[in-house]
């Protein structure tokens, strides 16, 4: 129970941090914000890695492996496409 | 490597994510911000390899190689105009991964006979439901945006009742997961009900409401990751998930406000033509059609031009032609600005990305309020592929489906030129009196061709 309360505390505080930081993002960057934050939500990858690598049962391994593939598409694709978009915004800044 | 060290590394990753998002508050710092986020992810992944539970690396590496290759190819090859569907797709994969991880964790605790705590089981059910809704909802959104399936609203009787029933079923199965954690079947039934719900929730949503749905799914993908964090007792998942959840909610809220509609109304309400009979009365004999040469003459005396883009600009890939005209007009001393409505396009910021792709400096991209404050000094307002977001009916008719929606007041510019292929209505299905206004000229043409013709005409004059 204790660890759950700690988790919940972190969850609520992080939501506040998120609101504070993200309300300051200008509308012009809303698409990169979506794809970038989307890539961050791919953090579930680390849970997937543990499931794929711990080899408890066939089922957990298959689920873990599929999750690794899904999450990596999300992470790698998300950060790369965000980078591509943001560079377009930056090159006009000279 | 000790668990403490791994957790400290996760904390570092969380801090990098927050700094990364903070970087996105200005175009100058945004690239670095995104790289900081990516670095945080790299650190998190690398230290996870030292987790004691991991006894085999082959599958992890294989999965990362396969997923990384797919992600890389998609990210490099995607056209900027297709960005909304790509983001929808990535969202879906993130949500799907969370549901799979929660399922694996449940199966694992069953296999090793560990008694799961109730709060972990609640989180497992939540992750399964949110993750599955995100995955299937995003796939449907992708299909609609890519036009694999119809982009219009798919409606059938009893839709709302069926959705409520499905949501209740998913929650019921979720409760069964909590009561019988050893029976994996309940988890799969939960996921199945939530999957169907995800499909049915997005199917009735038409094209122009997509910005809201994509933002909402973005938020869900974060909440699914946070729920999975509770399942695994992993703080970096909880932190990142809640950051993304908050981000998606903010965007959803901005999009809803920009349409003056509630979230419930976007998700469950139906926009339809109010009175079609009025169309002829509004347009009859009042439409003035124009040509590229005529518009070029307008530019001869103009000092300030405002371009208002909409989804039509993306469809006709007109952004580069728009840039050419902008540069040409500026070389003749005309001030050119862009008026961007928050819901123009199919996702938040869609127009900005297209114009940035065409090398138009972001300083020229003005928000709605700023453009409206000096629209009366605008000599020529050029509307390309936008309709509902410039429809003055939003202000005049309280019964209209777009009543109260903030619009860009191009009707107040000295002359308004609307580039459009026909007089067909926009997404809201209502006629636009702007087209028949005294100071409006209609240039019937494809967006890209119109701008190419304009460039040629201005060069000649």
- The position carrying tokens 């890209």 is B448
- Partners of residue A23 in chain B, C-beta under 8 Å: 250
The CATH architecture annotation of domain B278-460 reads 3-Layer(aba) Sandwich (3.40)
The minimum CA-CA distance between B26 and chain A, rounded to whole Å, is: 7
Take residue B296 and report the two structure tokens written for it. Answer: 């070029």
Helix (H) or strand (E) holding B29: helix B27-48
Which residue in B13, B101, B351 has the most chain A C-beta atoms within 10 A of its own C-beta, making it the best mutation to test that interface?
A: B101
Q: pLDDT exceeding 70 applies to what percent of chain B?
A: 96
Take residue B323 and report the two structure tokens written for it. Answer: 């840039």
The minimum CA-CA distance between B271 and chain A, rounded to whole Å, is: 26
Which of helix, strand or coil describes residue B59? helix
| DSSP code per residue over B179-205 | H-TT-HHHHHHHHHHHHHHHHHHHTT-
Do the domain assignments include residue A66?
yes
CB-nearest partner of A7 from B28, B225, B235: B235
Q: pLDDT exceeding 90 applies to what percent of chain A?
A: 72
The reply to whether residue B353 touches residue A31, judged by beta carbons under 8 angstroms, is yes
Per the structure, the complete domain to which residue A48 belongs is given by 28-93
CB-nearest partner of B362 from A57, A74, A92: A92
Measured distance CA(B264)–CA(B201) in Å, rounded:
11
Do the domain assignments include residue A3?
no
The reply to whether residue B239 touches residue A54, judged by beta carbons under 8 angstroms, is no
The minimum CA-CA distance between B63 and chain A, rounded to whole Å, is: 5
The reply to whether residue B26 touches residue A33, judged by beta carbons under 8 angstroms, is no
Q: What torsion, rounded to 10 degrees, do the Cα atoms B284, B286, B291, B293 define?
A: 170
- Partners of residue A28 in chain B, C-beta under 8 Å: 27, 340, 349, 352, 356, 362, 365
Measured distance CA(B317)–CA(B272) in Å, rounded:
28
- Partners of residue B251 in chain A, C-beta under 8 Å: 30, 33-34
The reply to whether residue B41 touches residue A43, judged by beta carbons under 8 angstroms, is yes
Region B23-40: mean pLDDT is 94
Contact B359, A89 (CB under 8 A): no
Q: Residues of A numbered 27-66 whose beta carbons fall under 8 angstroms of chain B's beta carbons: which are they?
A: 27-57, 59-61, 63-66
Interface contacts (A, B; CB < 8 Å): 394
Report the chain B residue with the minimal C-alpha distance to residue A29.
B349
Take residue B443 and report the two structure tokens written for it. Answer: 């240039």
Residue B269 has pLDDT above 70, yes or no: no
Measured distance CA(B191)–CA(B133) in Å, rounded:
8
Q: In what order do the strands lie in the sheet with B415-420?
A: B365-367, B335-340, B304-309, B380-384, B415-420, B440-444
Neighbours of B445 (CB within 10 A): 19
Measured distance CA(B402)–CA(B273) in Å, rounded:
11
Domain tally, chain A:
1
CB-nearest partner of B235 from A10, A24, A40: A10
The reply to whether residue B117 touches residue A1, judged by beta carbons under 8 angstroms, is yes
Does the beta carbon of A19 lie under 8 angstroms from any beta carbon of chain B? yes
Reported as a single tens digit per residue, the pLDDT across B92-118 is 999 999 999 999 999 988 766 666 688
Within B51-158, where are the H helices? 58-77, 83-111, 118-145
Q: pLDDT exceeding 90 applies to what percent of chain B?
A: 59
Do the domain assignments include residue A67?
yes
B5 exposed, middle or buried (CB, 10 Å; 0-12, 13-18, 19+)?
A: exposed
Region B252-264: mean pLDDT is 87
Do the domain assignments include residue A11?
no
Using CA atoms, how far residue B116 sits from A8, A9, B455, in Å, is 18, 21, 68
CB-nearest partner of B353 from A49, A70, A85: A85
DSSP B140: H
CB-nearest partner of B350 from A7, A31, A42: A31
Reported as a single tens digit per residue, the pLDDT across B390-439 is 999 888 888 887 888 899 999 999 999 999 988 888 777 788 889 988 89
Contact B287, B416 (CB under 8 A): no
Helix (H) or strand (E) holding B169: helix B159-179
The HSE-up count of residue B208 (CA atoms within 13 Å, CB side) is: 24
DSSP B114: P
Measured distance CA(B456)–CA(B326) in Å, rounded:
13
DSSP B385: S
Report the chain B residue with the minimal C-alpha distance to residue A27.
B349
The reply to whether residue B28 touches residue A64, judged by beta carbons under 8 angstroms, is no
CB-nearest partner of B243 from A3, A17, A73: A17
Reported as a single tens digit per residue, the pLDDT across B176-230 is 999 988 889 999 999 999 999 999 999 888 777 888 899 999 999 999 999 999 9
The reply to whether residue A69 touches residue B70, judged by beta carbons under 8 angstroms, is yes
The more confident residue out of A29 and B262 is A29
Report the chain B residue with the minimal C-alpha distance to residue A60.
B104
- The position carrying tokens 């605790």 is B109
Do the domain assignments include residue A45?
yes
Write out the catalytic residue numbers of B.
Answer: 388
Question: What residues are paired with B416 via a beta bridge?
Answer: B381, B440
The reply to whether residue B41 touches residue A26, judged by beta carbons under 8 angstroms, is no
The reply to whether residue B365 touches residue A32, judged by beta carbons under 8 angstroms, is no
Measured distance CA(B168)–CA(B185) in Å, rounded:
18
Take residue B11 and report the two structure tokens written for it. Answer: 């904390």
- The closest alpha carbon to B232, from A7, A18, A55, A40, belongs to A7
The reply to whether residue B251 touches residue A79, judged by beta carbons under 8 angstroms, is no
Reported as a single tens digit per residue, the pLDDT across B43-97 is 999 999 998 888 889 999 999 999 999 999 999 999 888 899 999 999 999 999 9
Do the domain assignments include residue A88?
yes
Contact A49, A71 (CB under 8 A): no
Take residue B157 and report the two structure tokens written for it. Answer: 């009787």
- The closest alpha carbon to B27, from A40, A59, A90, belongs to A90
Reported as a single tens digit per residue, the pLDDT across A14-51 is 999 999 999 999 999 999 999 999 999 999 999 999 99
Measured distance CA(B320)–CA(B317) in Å, rounded:
8
At residue A94 the predicted structure's pLDDT band, cuts being 50, 70 and 90, is very low
The minimum CA-CA distance between A72 and chain B, rounded to whole Å, is: 5
The reply to whether residue A30 touches residue B111, judged by beta carbons under 8 angstroms, is no
CB-nearest partner of A65 from B22, B25, B63: B63
The minimum CA-CA distance between A2 and chain B, rounded to whole Å, is: 11
- Partners of residue A17 in chain B, C-beta under 8 Å: 18, 243, 246
Pairing of strands B365-367, B380-384: unpaired
The minimum CA-CA distance between B114 and chain A, rounded to whole Å, is: 13
Take residue B376 and report the two structure tokens written for it. Answer: 């009366």
Measured distance CA(B132)–CA(B127) in Å, rounded:
8
């Amino acid at each position: 129970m204790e660890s759950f309360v700690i988790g919940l505390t972190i969850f609520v505080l992080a939501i506040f941090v998120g609101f504070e930081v993200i309300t300051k993002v200008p509308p012009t960057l809303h698409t990169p914000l979506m794809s970038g934050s989307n890539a961050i939500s791919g953090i579930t990858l680390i849970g997937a890695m543990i499931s794929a690598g711990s080899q408890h049962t066939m089922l957990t391994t298959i689920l873990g492996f599929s999750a690794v593939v899904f999450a990596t598409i999300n992470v790698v694709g998300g950060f790369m496409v965000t980078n591509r978009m943001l560079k377009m915004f930056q090159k006009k800044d000279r | 490597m000790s668990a403490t060290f791994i957790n400290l590394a996760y904390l570092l990753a969380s801090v990098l994510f927050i700094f990364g998002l903070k970087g996105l508050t200005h175009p100058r710092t945004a690239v670095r911000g995104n790289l900081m986020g990516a670095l945080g992810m790299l650190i998190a992944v690398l230290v996870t390899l030292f987790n004691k539970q991991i006894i085999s690396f082959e599958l992890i590496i294989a999965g990362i190689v396969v997923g990384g290759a797919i992600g890389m190819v998609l990210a490099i090859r995607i056209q900027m105009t297709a960005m909304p569907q790509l983001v929808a797709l990535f969202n879906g994969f993130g949500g799907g991964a969370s549901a799979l991880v929660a399922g694996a964790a449940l199966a694992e605790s069953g296999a090793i006979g560990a008694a799961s705590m109730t709060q972990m089981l609640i989180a497992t059910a939540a992750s399964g439901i949110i993750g599955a809704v995100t995955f299937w909802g995003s796939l449907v959104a992708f299909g609609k945006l890519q036009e694999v399936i119809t982009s219009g609203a798919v409606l059938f009787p009893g839709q709302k009742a069926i959705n409520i029933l499905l949501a209740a079923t998913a929650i019921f199965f979720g409760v069964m997961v909590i009561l019988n954690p050893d029976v994996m079947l309940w988890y799969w039934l939960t996921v199945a009900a939530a999957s169907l719900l995800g499909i049915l929730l997005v199917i009735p949503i038409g094209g122009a409401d997509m910005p809201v749905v994509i933002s909402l799914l973005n938020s869900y993908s974060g909440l699914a990751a946070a729920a999975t964090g509770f399942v695994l007792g992993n703080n970096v998942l909880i932190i990142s998930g809640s950051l993304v959840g908050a981000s998606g909610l903010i965007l959803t809220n901005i999009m809803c406000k920009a349409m003056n509609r509630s979230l419930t109304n976007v998700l469950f309400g139906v926009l339809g033509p109010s009175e079609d009979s009025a169309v002829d009365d509004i347009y009859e004999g009042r439409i003035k059609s124009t040509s590229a040469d005529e518009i070029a003459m307008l530019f001869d005396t103009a000092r300030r031009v405002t371009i208002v883009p909409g989804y039509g600009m993306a469809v006709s890939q007109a952004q580069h032609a728009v840039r050419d005209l902008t540069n040409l007009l500026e070389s003749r001393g005309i001030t050119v600005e862009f008026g961007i409505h928050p819901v123009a396009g199919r996702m938040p910021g869609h127009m900005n990305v297209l114009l940035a792709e065409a090398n138009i400096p972001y300083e020229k991209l003005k928000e709605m309020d700023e453009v409206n404050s000096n629209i009366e000094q605008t000599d020529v307002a050029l509307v390309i592929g936008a309709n509902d977001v410039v429809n003055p009916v939003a202000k005049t008719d309280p019964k209209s489906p777009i009543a109260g929606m903030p619009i860009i007041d191009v009707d107040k510019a000295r002359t308004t030129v609307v580039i459009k292929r026909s007089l067909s209505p926009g997404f809201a299905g209502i006629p636009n009196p702007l087209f028949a206004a005294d100071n409006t000229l209609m240039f019937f043409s494809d967006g890209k061709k119109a701008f190419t013709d304009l460039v040629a005409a201005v060069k000649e004059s």
